[in-house]
Every structure is written in structure tokens, then in C-alpha cells.
Amino acid sequence: MTLPRHAYHGLIFLLALLLMGCAPNIVYRSDYASCTVTEGNACETHAIQIHHAGSDREFQLGFVEIDDQGLLRDRKQLYALLDRLYATASKDNLLINVFVHGWHHNAAPGDSNIEGFKDNLAKLGQIESLLSQNKKRQARKVIGIYVGWRGESIDFPGLRHLTFWDRKNTAEDVGYLGISELLLKLEQITHIKNSQQDSLKSRLIIIGHSFGGAVVYNAAAQILASRFVNSKKGKSYVGSVEGFGDLVVLLNPAFEALQFAPLYDLAQSRCSYPFSKQPRLAVLTSETDYASKYAFWVGRVFSSLFESHKTIVREECDGKRKLILDEGEADRNTIGHFPPLITHRLTKATNGDKTANTEPDKLSALWRRQWQGATIRYGAIELTDLEKTAAYSPYLNIEVSEEIMDGHNDIFTDDLMEFIRMLIVLSAMTE
């Protein structure tokens, strides 16, 4: 069949629009030498940056960029960063924070996720400086690593929101391939000084947002499960449950609740945990995150249409904890919008002292109050246990009220970041 000439012209015009609307597919941080940021030099093309040098807000920021197939864009970029971290870790203890962005973001200078991450790193630097003074010890060096991938494939107004499923598939590739090597090598770096007789330990915190949460979970899930099992000393009891690094935080993650179910089952197999147990995985989802609640659900309805599902009933701890898991619903909804697996709720405190329990050196005592059904207050927020898991379970799936995190991208609010910094400081303490 021969198409009319005007049809060909229309197709060519449409193709030209799509090509013009394609998001950049480049290395944004192409200079691998370290650079100190000053008022006159933003070091925008540098993959290794030093911010607020000489102050209590000082931190180093590195960039690692990954392509659509899940492979490193330039291995030299990773090697330059690792070389610097190995050199630093041989002299100082580190507090390494990794951030993996989500949909509509990348490693371009000025990206809002980068700016929010930098602000959080500076505040972590201040907290670490304060802790070092209070405990009369050397402060850890705060290190930030921003993992950039192509979270936007089409930058054309009106069409960019149609890339949801395309970017979801890319996020899975990034998680299964490119990021695992980075995270394992960073974990190795934290062990350099930890092998020495030193009470202060280096720590690794991994944070993922949206599809970045899927990236991190795809990389971490099997490792978390393996280390949970291997934590059973003599295969008869669980002591300190090992994590991937020291803490994994997922913000409005865009992956199926069914993927989390095996890890949830592992945690439920234990009827109690030591009261000193620190969290290893914290998932936080806004109750008003409609992108992962409705758009995700609609897409999964069609993509899982011909899959078979059943309802599973679990009874743990002599029937004290019962779970009814509808596999179909768990396969269509994200981890943060599937009520049977939600373990906690985070809300704004209605009144009282907004600095309550915020002293860094008192966090361990505060966390010990996190028994079943309890509410603990930290500053202006309250965390309530929903009595679905054993107290001090290492895996938390938290529903967040809209006053704290409103929608899919509202992740750098003061209250939410304050809570996450509390988890980071808590995980950085010696158990």
C-alpha cells in the first residue's frame, strides 16, 4: 500500500519532533580531576568536588554516570572517584552517602535533586562535627556520591510523562548491572579502617528515589536476604542483622510490593529482635504519591494481565502475626501503596517542642522505645509502629503523611530530611 505524500510528510515531521525532544545522552561530569567549589568556580563539569572547604559543613561530592543499558558511561570516571576514596579512607573514617535519582532527573548541573542532596550533605557535616566535639573524637569525612542515569528520555512538553514504563525498564537494567559494582566497592572502602582497632567506623548509606529506589532495591534485595540468613549465628539465632552497607533508604520507590514480600517474610520469621537493633532498610512513601499509586497500578494491570496469582496466608510466631497476601494486588501496587506490608506511619507532631529528642547522642535511647504499637517523637515528627512486625525489625515500610512529603517529588522537605538524617546518624553509631 502506498501512502499519500502528505502522510509521509506527517511521519517525517513527527519523527523530527521526537528527535528534537530527546533528552541529552551525554556524560555531564567529564573532568575527573578534583575541584574545590568557590564563589567564582562552581566546578560544574567536575566529577569530584569539594564543598564548603574548611568549615563544619565540608563534604566531598562525586558523580558516577550510567547509560540506558546499565553500563558505566566511562569507567575512568568511576576509577578516579574510587582512587580518591581509597586514599581518603586510608587516613580518615568516612560517612559515605549515595543518592540514586529517579524519573525526570539526571546528572546535569543545576538538577534539583543534586541541589537537595548537597544541602543534606552539608547538614550531615554539621551533625558529624557536633558529634565529634561532644564525644571528643575525630569527625568522619562526609562523602556524597550522586549516581546519574537517564531518568528522562524525552524532554518534549506533554510527552515526557509518557516515558514512565520506558524509564522503569531502564531502571531495572541500571539496578541489575551498573550500580551493583559501585555499591560493593564502596562497601569495601568502608572496611579499610574498620579492620583496624578503632572504635569509630566508616559507614555507607544508600538512598534511592522513585525509579532510583527500584535501581537500589534491584541491586540490594538479594544481598540483604543473603546477609539476613548469614546473620544466624550457628543457624539458631539472629544477633545483629547485617545489611547492605549500613542503611538503605527508598523514597517513593516505584516497584511492585510483590518484590518486597520475600524480604518481609524473612523478617517475619523472627519473633523478636535485640532492642539495640538498628534499621537496615527504610522505605518511605507519601500517601499522596499519585504517580506510583495510580499510574503504576494502571500500567501493571495490563502488563500482568495474563499472569497467574493466588492468595497466600501466613501465620508467624504461633499465630500472633497473620498476613493475607493477595499476589495480584501485590503485583499491581507499589511497595508503599500495599497496606498489608506497611509497617509504620510517619506524621507531623501536633504540638510541643519541635526540638524534642533531637540530640544526636541520645538517638540510640530514643530508638529503643520503638516497641510494638508505640509512637516515638523526633523533633516535629512522630513514627508509629502499626503492630505488624516484631519490635526493632530491621526492615521498615513507612507510610508518610502529606504534611511531611506531599506527592512524588517532594522529597527534600525539612521534616523528611531531618528524619532521614536521624536514621543515618543512628546507623552510623557503633552497636
Instruction: Write the DSSP assignment of 280-319 as a string of letters.
Output: SEEEEEETT-HIIIIIHHHHHHHHTTT----EEEEEETTT
**DSSP at 208:** E
Query: Which range, of 111-120, 151-160, 253-262, 315-324, averages the lowest pLDDT?
Result: 151-160
Domain spans of the chain? 21-428
> Residue 152's pLDDT is what?
77
Residues 6+ apart with CB under 8 A from 239: 231, 233, 274
Q: Are strands 237-238 and 247-251 parallel, antiparallel or unpaired?
A: unpaired
Which class for 382: exposed (0-12), middle (13-18), buried (19 or more C-beta within 10 A)?
middle
More confident residue, 146 or 295: 146
Q: Render pLDDT for 338-395 as a digit per residue (tens, 0 to 9).
A: 999 999 999 999 876 777 788 877 888 888 888 888 999 998 999 999 999 888 889 9
Angle at alpha carbon of residue 71, lines to 69 and 75, rounded to 5°: 155
Nearest Cα to Cα of residue 247 among 221, 209, 278: 278
Q: Render pLDDT for 195-209 as a digit per residue (tens, 0 to 9).
A: 565 667 899 999 999
pLDDT at 272 over 90: no
Which range is most confident: 50-64, 188-202, 238-252, 369-383?
A: 50-64
> Residue 196's pLDDT is what?
61
Check: CB of residue 116 under 8 Å from CB of residue 412. Answer: yes
> Where residue 305 falls among pLDDT bands split at 50, 70, 90?
confident
Average pLDDT over residues 52-61: 97
* CA 141 – CA 129 distance, rounded (Å): 9
Average pLDDT over residues 389-409: 94
pLDDT at 310 over 70: yes
More confident residue, 236 or 296: 296
Residues 6+ apart with CB under 8 A from 61: 48, 49, 50, 51, 117, 118, 121, 143, 144, 145, 146
> Residue 13's pLDDT is what?
44
> Where residue 23 falls among pLDDT bands split at 50, 70, 90?
low
> Where residue 134 falls among pLDDT bands split at 50, 70, 90?
confident
pLDDT at 309 over 60: yes
Query: Which range, of 42-46, 188-192, 275-279, averages the lowest pLDDT?
Result: 275-279
Q: Using the CB atoms, write b or e for 390-401: b if 16+ within 10 Å.
A: bbbbbbbbbbbb
> Where residue 240 falls among pLDDT bands split at 50, 70, 90?
low
Q: Render pLDDT for 88-102 as a digit per residue (tens, 0 to 9).
A: 999 999 999 999 999
**DSSP at 40:** T
Query: Which range, of 248-252, 306-310, 316-320, averages the lowest pLDDT?
Result: 316-320
> Residue 176's pLDDT is what?
76
Average pLDDT over residues 2-14: 52
**DSSP at 275:** T
> Residue 323's pLDDT is what?
85
| % of the chain exceeding 70 in pLDDT | 86
pLDDT at 287 over 80: yes
> Residue 350's pLDDT is what?
83
> Residue 14's pLDDT is what?
45
152 φ, ψ to 5°? -130, 120
Residues 6+ apart with CB under 8 A from 137: 200
* CA 401 – CA 288 distance, rounded (Å): 8
Which class for 356: exposed (0-12), middle (13-18), buried (19 or more C-beta within 10 A)?
middle
3-state secondary structure (DSSP) of residue 11: helix
